[in-house]
Amino acid sequence: MAIHRDPFSARPLVNEKSTAIVAAAAKENFREEVLAGLSKSPRKLPYKFFYDQRGAQLFQQICDLPEYYVTRTEIEILRLHGAEMARALGPQIELIGLGTGAGTKTLILLEELQTPAVYVPIDISKEQLEKSSARFREMFPTLQVLPVAADYLEPFELPLPRRLSSRSVIYFPGSTIGNFEPEAASEFLARMVELAGDGGGLLIGVDLRKDRDVLERAYNDPAGVTAQFNKNLLARINRELGADFDLKRWQHHAIYNSTEGRIEIYLISESEQTVHIGDREFQFRAGEEILTEYSHKHTIAGFIELARQAGFYFEKVWTDGARWFGVFYFTVAV
Predicted confidence band at 158 (pLDDT cuts at 50, 70, 90)?
confident
Can you tell me the distance from the alpha carbon of 224 to that of 144, in angstroms, rounded to the nearest whole number? 40
Q: What value does the mean pLDDT of the chain take?
A: 92
Q: How far is CA 211 from CA 218, 263, 295, 322, in A?
A: 11, 12, 15, 11
pLDDT confidence of residue 8: 38
Can you tell me the distance from the alpha carbon of 39 to that of 34, in angstroms, rounded to the nearest whole number? 9
Number of Cβ within a 10 Å radius of residue 64: 10
Share of the chain above pLDDT 90, in %: 80
Query: What's the pLDDT tens digit per position in 15-45?
Result: 455 556 666 778 899 999 999 999 999 999 9
Sorted by sequence, the CB contacts under 8 Å of residue 223 that are 6+ apart come out as 65
Q: How far is CA 212 from CA 17, 36, 63, 217, 218, in A?
A: 50, 32, 19, 9, 10
Query: What's the pLDDT tens digit per position in 120-152?
Result: 999 888 888 899 999 999 999 999 999 998 888
- Tell me what the mean pLDDT of segment 224-235 comes to: 98
Lowest mean pLDDT among 157-171, 192-206, 241-255, 285-299: 157-171
pTM recorded for the entire structure: 0.90
